[in-house]
Structure 1
Amino acid sequence: MRPTLFSLKRSLLTVAVLFTTTVSAFVYADTPIHPMMGDAPSVPKNIVILIGDGMGPAYTSAYRYYKDNPETQEIEQTVFDRLLVGTASTYPARVSGYVTDSAASATALATGVKSYNGAISVDTDKQTLPTIMEMAKKQGLSTGVAVTSQINHATPAAFLTHNESRKNYDEIANSYLNTDADVMLGGGQKFFPAELISQFEAKGYRYLSDFSQLDSVTEPKVIGLFAEVQLPWAIDEVGAHKLSKMTAKALELLSQNEKGFVLLVEGSLIDWAGHNNDIATAMAEMDEFANALEVVEQYVRQNNDTLMIATADHNTGGLSIGANGEYSWKTDIIRAVKSSPASIAANAISSENWQDEVISKLTFELSIDELTQLSRARMQGQDVMVTAIKKLIDNRSNTGWTTGGHTGMDVQVFASGPASKLFSGYQDNTDIALKIMSLLPKKAKSPATTTQVQSNK
């Protein structure tokens, strides 16, 4: 096996990690436990990786103000404020410049290697790279994903499989048969036809097509696809908490393995709302991701052998808290919106009494000029109507956007549990993966090997 810059980097980082945490003797044991405070291990048995897709720093700041209680002088902290430990750069391989897509960033987070935009855990030569999930599986750990996009979207795909292009959705879906992942929850029915589902069932998987079935699952080996593509927007299903419930169920099922588990949780639709420059929908998706974070945070409190590490893969939309030269951001406008602009527009197109429909969902009165603008947009079809409603919310709340794509800024890193201090300060996204890999259990040396080493001294 030829030495690479990656292998050298991994070796050096692993040495630093082990030295810093003083657990070198335990990292190479099957069950690495070393008391640090009371009976808390310094190396985790379980690892939960949470990714807020597109969740740049402006999103977590905006969420703090979105959740603020205006009746108090204090601006209350959120789960993101509690768990913040560092930052990470997100740039892809040099061939793709400075601004990453979800595939290249997920590849970096899953393998510790930079690759080109669109790559699913392959390097720039399109050679497969070992992922955290694959390494965990080899050591007998359980693995799972819970996401709000289709389960064969870029981020979960990079942790579970390999492909030269994120766009090869059907190939990626078929390859999941060979991952032996214990839990796969999200959307994506479109990409998993009946024949493919039958193959999963032949391998012992239970298939769920309705979210109400999730409560009845008591054993791992489950594939749950709860939407044609993405799950519904959180703002359109108030109180449903689907990501939180999928996260809780995944933790319940994966924890049945005494050797431990690795779970990926993604708030996928934060990114999709960011691409749409849709602040009301984005904040609702942030709220659901925060709820899922708190589910894991509580699990870590109750299971001190579990590490949670959360970050974003990149920043989306260039969200601006305040715009147009005004020192103001009006969260009351955003909080009051009762449905996604897409849903509001669809109802407005089909309803004769559309003005009242729009006002009831926005929950603020519209001026004659605003109603005129919406009327003109309505005549041009649903897409134009959606854009008009989003702009209206932006103007009223003083929200700004710079792009419908990604930006190259650093993202935040959040952590709790054993070895969480490893993720403090600045790091690259590849460093996050390498640190997690260093915490995975390694096979203990066999007695024969130990005897041979001693005899050669």
Structure 2
Amino acid sequence: MANSSQNISQSRPKNIIVMIGDGMGPAYTSAYRYYKDNPETEEVEQTVFDRLLVGMASTYPATVSGYVTDSAASATALSTGIKSYNGAISVDVEKRPLTTLLEKAKTLGLSTGIAVSSQVNHATPAAFLTHNENRKNYIEIAQSYLDTDADVILGGGQRYFSAELLSQFTAKGYQHITDFSQLDTLSSPKVLGLFADVQLPWVIDTKQAHHLGALTQKSLELLSQNPNGFVLLIEGSLIDWAGHSNDIATAMAEMDGFAHSIEIVEQFVRQQKDTLMIITADHNTGGLSVGANDEYVWKPAVLHKVKASPDVIAAKAIAAQAWQAIVTKQLGFEPNSQEFTLLNNARMQGNEAMAISLRKLIDVYSNTGWTTLGHTGDDVQVFASGPGAKLFSGHQDNTDIANKIFSLLPSSAQ
């Protein structure tokens, strides 16, 4: 009997870290493996995703929304264990509030937090923190965070937090910071860190910064101060945004940023022994295919040469007379005359048209395929490590992931 109870206590984690790669369908982790491969070696090296893979999950929303989920419905499933309609922020199909993982953790005496690369009031973090009938009610969602009592809220979204709202946060004891350098000044919760107007900068444009990694590291440091434990959500939000734009160079850089954050958490799990990490995607975005046009090849080396996001390259090209030289230097390859003509036509139409044209050109040179600018209904992968990780093996639904996590929480307040 002693051994049995000991096994139960060992399998129940003190801390739980949920990591979501938004839009990160299986093709993304495959592409990332080849993107990170060392071409000087015969073998294709494993990535952190290969190392931690344990299962798969279905992602479909409530029947009313069909088979293809949005981020709100999937985050609601992952946060509450109940399916809802696309657009729902932790409310059921009747728009009644559902208890979220972070709310339940709070009642049990655990600390809670989120660290994301989108705005902090975007669909996924919102579904873990609050309730709303529509994910687009950004101002309402930001205001509702006052009542969540979360210990750490880190990401973008300054535009949604008025001076009056920020003063209410500080009146409740929150430290409000707006620059990554201020992370070093934090030695205790509570903190509201808003580091950008909306999203954090693209990884491809700030390669050495490791912004999400920095937010991850600080969240672990602050939340670990609670002897009862904590539950933390970390989201690589912008993988999805790059997928919606069919932007392979930017998507792979975002995958790299998310992988870096996973490795920080993985190291924490190895050292602490009492922490469970679960990683998954909320859905698949863009219908990415690793290879295209009946040609059995994919060229990630092309992506490594791209020096900035197509958005940034487009802006530079539009602002300069000698734009062809700028484009060639920033892409790392020289378009042919026909391609330059297409780019010039796009350049005359403005930044968005130019960026789209650049993304399509990168697809051609890397032989990358896409099927949609939206989401698809594919199953997603599940990765885990730490006490309780085996629970997530095999095939499951996204609601199962949440219900398994709920089962691992303490049975009563500590």
Q: Same fold (TM over 0.5)?
A: yes
- Scaled by the length of structure 2, the TM-score of the pair is 0.98
Q: SS of the counterpart of 1:372?
A: helix
User: How far apart are residue 442 of structure 1 and its match?
Assistant: 1.5
Q: TM-score if structure 1 supplies the norm length?
A: 0.89
Find the partner of 1:193 among 149, 156, 162: 162
Shift of 1:444: 7.3
> What is the match of residue 366 of structure 1?
335
Amino acid at match of 2:155: G
Residues 309, 416 of structure 1: 8 Å contact kept: yes
2:231 corresponds to: 262
Instruction: Give the CA deviation at 1:269.
Output: 0.1
Task: Please tell me whether residue 73 in structure 1 is matched to residue 42 in structure 2.
Answer: yes
Q: SS in structure 2 opposite 1:399? A: coil
**Does the CA contact (< 8 Å) of 1:41 and 1:304 recur in 2?**
no
**Are the equivalent residues in 1 in contact too, given 2:107–2:413 (CA < 8 A)?**
no
From 364, 367, 390, the counterpart of 2:359: 390
Shift in Å, 1:150: 0.3
Runs of 4+ in 1 over 2 A off after TM superposition: none
What count of residue pairs does the alignment treat as equivalent?
412
| CA-to-aligned-CA distance 1:326-357 (integer Å, 9 cap, x gap) | 10101111111110000000000001111111
1:44 matched to 2:13: yes
Q: Does the 8 Å contact 1:46/1:261 carry over to 2?
A: yes
Q: Which runs of 5+ in 1 are unaligned?
A: 1-21, 26-33, 446-457
1:136 maps to which residue? 105
1:58-85 Cα distance to aligned partner (Å, 9 max, x none): 0000000000001110000000000000
Q: Which amino acid aligns with 1:370?
A: E
Partner Cα distance (2:156, 2:412) in 1: 35
Match of 2:312 in 1: 343
Following TM superposition, by how much is the alpha carbon of 1:381 offset from its aligned partner in structure 2, in angstroms? Answer: 1.4
* Larger-Rg structure: 1
Helix, strand or coil: the match of 1:347? Answer: helix
- Partner deviation per Cα, 1:87-114 (whole Å, 9 max, x = no partner): 0000000000000000000000000000
TM superposition shift of 1:239: 0.6
1:15 counterpart residue number:
none
Find the counterpart in structure 2 of residue 161 from structure 1. 130
TM superposition shift of 1:42: 1.3
Aligned partners of 2:90, 2:185: CA distance in 1, in Å? 34
SS class of match (1:86): strand
Matched, 1:178 2:147: yes
1:127-166 deviations in whole A, cap 9, x for unaligned?
Answer: 0000110110001000000000000000000000000000
How far did residue 271 of structure 1 move? 0.2
Q: Which runs of 5+ in 2 are unaligned?
A: none
CA pair 66-444 structure 1, distance change in 2 beyond 3 A: closer
Look up the equivalent residue of 1:275 and give its one-letter code: H
Q: CA deviation at 1:226?
A: 0.2
Maintained 8 Å contact 2:109/2:413:
no
Tell me by how many angstroms 1:35 deviates.
4.8
Q: Which residue does 1:114 correspond to in 2?
A: 83
> Which of 252, 271, 275 is matched with 1:306 structurally?
275
Shift of 1:411: 0.0
SS state at 2:134 partner: coil
SS of residue paired to 1:321: coil
1:211 Cα offset (Å): 1.4
Distance change (3 Å), C-alpha of 1:82 and 1:388: same
Q: Quote the RMSD (CA, aligned, Å).
A: 1.2
- Partners in 2 of 1:127 and 1:444 — Cα distance? 25
Deviations 1:391-416 (A, max 9, x none): 10000111000000000000000000
Quote how far apart the aligned CAs of 1:379 are: 1.3
The question of 1:431 aligning with 2:389 is answered no
Aligned pairs for 1:150-299 within 5 A:
150-299=119-268
Query: Residues 317 and 444 (structure 1 numbering): CA distance in 2 closer, same or farther, change over 3 Å?
Result: closer
Three-state SS of the structure 1 residue aligned to 2:403 is helix
